[in-house]
C-alpha cells in the first residue's frame, strides 16, 4: 500500500491546514473589499475547453482521460476557461463590469521544482467588461493590497509591470518584423535569466540584424516609466499615434496607483512578457524583492480571450496568485500566524462522580460558542493537564468533590499560571470574560 501522497501532491496536517486557511481568509477579506463576488466551477472539464485556448500541446501537461461516457476530460489546470464558459452562458444578464474571484484547486502534470507542484490552490480575480486604464490600476492595486494584508511591504515585494501593446510598438519601431516578433518576445522574456548572447540567438536566426538585436536588448533593459515614455514620444511615422495613446494609457494607470498610495510597490519593466500568448495590454508579475522565489502572482489584460473561448466580445483582465510560493515567502519572513489554540477551555475532573457535572458545563460552554475538550476516560489530573497543554488550551477548569460541595470550580490560566475560584453559577460568564478580556 502506498504510504505517501503522490509526487507533487500534499497532505495538509492541522498546522499546514491552519496556514492554508489563513491564506484563504486573507484572500477573501481583501478581494471582497474591492467588490468581488466568489464563484466556482467543476474540477473536471471537457478537454477541448483547454486545447481551444492553449492548443493541443497543453495535453502533455494535463491530468486527462476518457471517462465512462467516452468523453475526453481533464482536471482543471487553470480557471480562466471555466470563467469564460460561465460568463458566456449568462453574458446578457450579468451587470458589467463583472468582478468575480475564485480559489480553485488546480492540477498540472509537470516536473516538480521549488514553488511548483502538481496541484495547488490559486486565487483567481477577474474584471470583465471594462476596457479603460482604471481597470488596469484596480487589478494592480488589488494584488498589492493582498500582499499588504499579509504584512508585506515594498521592501518585501515588488509588482513588476509591463504592457504588451507598448512592447509590440517599441519592437516594431526598432526594426523587428512581424515574423520576428515571437523570437524578440522570447529574448526579452529571458533577458534576466540568461546571457544576452544566448537569448538573442533565435532572433539572429530569424534574420534580425545586429543593430536591431542591440535595440531589442536596450528595450529589455528599460525599467523606469520615464524611459518608456520618452522612447514612445520619439517614435515617428505610422506608429506614432498608437505609441502616444499607449503611453498616455500607461501614465493614467500609474497615476491612479500613485493616488491610491501604492506606487511605491510598482516597477515598470518591459522585460515582463508573460508566457501566455493571449495577453493584449497591461501585464504584471508579483515577486519577492530579492527574487528568491518564483512569481507569487501574474496576470494582465486579455481582451480577446472571451471571444475566442466563449464567443462573447468583452474586454477582460485578471490575475492568479498561488498558495505554494506565497506560503514559502510567509515562512521565510516569519509571518506565519502562531498555531491557533485547538481549544479555549479544558475541563479536568478528579473522580468519576465529577464527570456528569463536567459534561453539563461542557455543553453550556459550547453552546456559548467556546471550544471545549475534556478527558474521555478517568485519569490522573496531571495527565489531563498535560493534554490541555498539548491542545494549547487557554484555560483549564478543575472540578472535584470539594469544589462541587461548595458550588465552585477552580479556573486556571495556563499561560499566566494564575488561578481563581469561581462560582459554578457564574462559570460561563466568567470564563468568557477571561478569554476575551
Query: Residue 349 belongs to a domain with what CATH number?
Result: 3.40.50.800
Q: Are 62 and 47 in contact (CB under 8 A)?
A: yes
Q: Are residues 313 and 424 in the same domain?
A: no
pLDDT tier at 285, thresholds 50, 70, 90: very high
The predicted-structure confidence for 178-187, as pLDDT tens digits, reads as follows 999 999 999 9
DSSP state of 60: G
Residue 114 has pLDDT above 90, yes or no: no
> Does 377 fall in a domain?
yes
pLDDT tier at 359, thresholds 50, 70, 90: very high
Residue 122 pairs with which residues in a beta bridge?
322
Name the strand (E) or helix (H) holding 33.
helix 14-33
Q: Which of 397, 296, 327 is nearest to 18 (CA)?
A: 327
Q: Are residues 307 and 374 in the same domain?
A: no
Q: Are residues 8 and 87 in the same domain?
A: yes
Q: Are 261 and 249 in contact (CB under 8 A)?
A: no
Contacts of 278 (CB under 8 A, 6+ apart): 53, 302, 304, 305, 308
> Does 32 fall in a domain?
yes
The predicted-structure confidence for 220-240, as pLDDT tens digits, reads as follows 887 778 888 888 988 999 999
Cell 502506498, residue? 2
pLDDT value of position 408? 96
Q: Are residues 315 and 431 in the same domain?
A: no
Q: Are 349 and 355 in contact (CB under 8 A)?
A: yes
Residue 113 has pLDDT above 90, yes or no: no
Last residue of a domain, one of 338, 365, 384: 338
What is the pLDDT of the chain when averaged over all its residues?
93
Residue 309 has pLDDT above 90, yes or no: no
DSSP state of 237: G
Name the strand (E) or helix (H) holding 290.
none
Range of the domain at 422: 345-436
Cell 495547488, residue? 120
Percent of the chain with pLDDT over 70: 99
Strands 266-268 and 157-163, bridge-based pairing: parallel
Q: Are residues 321 and 376 in the same domain?
A: no
Cell 473536471, residue? 44
> Does 171 fall in a domain?
no
Neighbours of 283 (CB within 10 A): 25
Model pTM score: 0.90
Alpha carbon separation from 338 to 18, 341, 434 (Å, rounded): 10, 9, 20
Last residue of a domain, one of 294, 314, 338: 338
pLDDT value of position 39? 98
> Does 236 fall in a domain?
no
Looking at per-residue pLDDT, the higher value among 340 and 230 belongs to: 230
> Does 197 fall in a domain?
no
Last residue of a domain, one of 294, 323, 338: 338
Question: Is 126 in a helix, a strand, or coil?
Answer: strand
Q: Are residues 379 and 317 in the same domain?
A: no
pLDDT tier at 2, thresholds 50, 70, 90: confident
CA dihedral 204, 209, 213, 214 (to 10 degrees): 140
The rounded distance, in Å, linking the Cα atoms of 188 and 191 is: 5
pLDDT value of position 116? 87
Measure CA of the first residue to CA of the last residue in the chain; give whole Å.
50
Q: Are residues 357 and 314 in the same domain?
A: no
Q: Are residues 328 and 311 in the same domain?
A: yes
Q: Are residues 126 and 2 in the same domain?
A: yes
The predicted-structure confidence for 373-403, as pLDDT tens digits, reads as follows 999 999 999 999 999 999 999 999 999 999 9
CATH of residue 7's domain is: 3.30.930.10
In 3-state terms the chain splits into helix, strand, coil percentages (rounded to 5) of 45, 20, 35
> Does 78 fall in a domain?
yes
Which three cell numbers, joined as nine digits, stand for 268?
Answer: 515598470
Please tell me the total count of domains within the chain: 2
Query: Got the DSSP string for 61-111?
Result: GS-EEE-TTS-EEEE-S-SHHHHHHHHHHTGGGSPSSEEEEE--EEE----
The predicted-structure confidence for 184-216, as pLDDT tens digits, reads as follows 999 998 888 889 989 899 899 999 999 999 999
Q: Are residues 94 and 55 in the same domain?
A: yes
Neighbours of 278 (CB within 10 A): 17
pLDDT tier at 276, thresholds 50, 70, 90: low
Q: Are residues 30 and 117 in the same domain?
A: yes
Q: Are residues 2 and 126 in the same domain?
A: yes
> Does 62 fall in a domain?
yes
Half-sphere exposure of 319 (CA within 13 A, CB side): 29
Alpha carbon separation from 437 to 16, 416, 430, 431 (Å, rounded): 29, 13, 10, 10
pLDDT value of position 150? 98
> Does 71 fall in a domain?
yes
Amino acid at each position: 500500500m502506498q504510504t505517501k501522497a503522490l509526487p507533487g501532491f500534499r497532505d495538509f496536517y492541522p498546522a499546514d491546514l491552519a496556514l492554508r486557511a489563513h491564506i484563504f481568509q486573507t484572500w477573501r477579506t481583501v478581494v471582497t473589499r474591492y467588490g468581488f463576488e466568489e464563484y466556482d466551477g467543476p474540477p473536471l472539464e471537457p478537454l477541448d475547453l483547454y486545447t481551444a485556448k492553449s492548443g493541443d500541446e497543453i495535453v502533455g501537461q494535463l491530468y486527462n482521460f476518457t471517462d465512462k461516457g467516452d468523453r475526453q476530460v481533464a482536471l482543471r489546470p487553470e480557471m480562466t476557461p471555466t470563467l469564460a464558459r460561465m460568463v458566456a452562458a449568462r453574458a446578457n444578464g450579468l451587470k458589467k463590469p463583472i468582478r468575480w474571484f475564485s480559489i480553485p484547486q488546480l492540477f498540472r502534470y509537470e516536473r516538480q521544482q521549488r514553488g511548483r507542484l502538481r496541484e495547488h490552490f490559486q486565487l483567481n480575480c477577474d474584471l470583465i467588461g471594462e476596457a479603460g486604464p482604471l481597470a488596469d490600476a484596480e487589478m494592480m492595486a488589488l494584488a498589492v493590497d493582498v500582499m499588504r494584508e499579509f504584512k508585506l511591504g515594498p521592501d518585501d515585494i515588488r509588482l513588476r509591470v509591463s504592457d504588451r501593446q507598448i512592447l509590440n510598438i517599441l519592437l516594431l519601431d526598432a526594426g523587428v518584423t512581424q515574423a520576428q516578433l515571437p523570437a524578440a518576445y522570447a529574448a526579452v522574456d529571458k533577458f534576466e535569466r540568461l546571457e544576452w548572447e544566448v537569448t538573442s540567438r533565435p532572433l539572429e536566426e530569424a534574420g534580425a540584424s545586429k543593430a536591431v538585436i542591440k535595440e531589442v536588448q536596450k528595450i529589455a533593459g528599460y525599467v523606469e516609466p520615464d524611459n518608456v515614455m520618452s522612447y514612445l514620444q520619439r517614435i515617428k511615422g505610422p506608429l506614432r499615434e498608437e505609441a502616444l495613446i499607449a503611453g498616455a494609457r500607461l501614465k493614467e494607470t500609474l497615476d491612479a496607483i500613485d493616488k491610491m498610495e501604492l506606487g511605491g510597490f510598482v516597477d515598470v519593466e518591459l522585460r515582463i512578457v508573460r508566457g501566455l500568448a493571449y495577453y493584449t495590454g497591461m501585464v504584471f508579475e508579483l515577486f519577492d524583492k530579492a527574487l528568491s522565489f518564483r512569481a507569487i502572482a501574474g496576470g494582465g489584460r486579455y481582451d480577446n480571450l472571451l471571444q475566442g473561448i466563449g464567443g462573447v466580445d468583452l474586454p477582460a483582465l485578471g490575475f492568479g496568485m498561488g498558495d505554494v510560493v506565497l506560503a514559502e515567502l510567509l515562512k521565510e519572513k516569519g509571518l506565519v500566524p502562531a498555531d491557533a489554540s485547538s481549544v479555549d477551555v479544558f475541563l479536568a475532573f478528579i473522580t468519576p462522580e465529577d464527570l456528569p457535572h463536567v459534561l453539563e458545563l461542557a455543553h453550556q460552554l459550547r453552546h456559548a460558542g467556546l471550544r471545549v475538550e475534556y478527558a474521555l476516560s478517568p485519569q490522573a489530573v496531571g495527565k489531563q493537564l498535560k493534554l490541555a497543554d498539548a491542545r494549547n488550551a487557554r484555560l483549564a477548569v478543575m472540578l472535584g468533590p470539594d469544589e462541587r460541595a461548595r458550588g465552585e470550580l477552580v479556573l486556571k490560566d495556563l499561560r499566566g499560571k494564575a488561578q481563581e475560584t469561581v462560582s459554578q453559577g457564574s462559570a460561563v460568564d466568567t470564563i468568557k470574560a477571561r478569554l476575551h478580556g
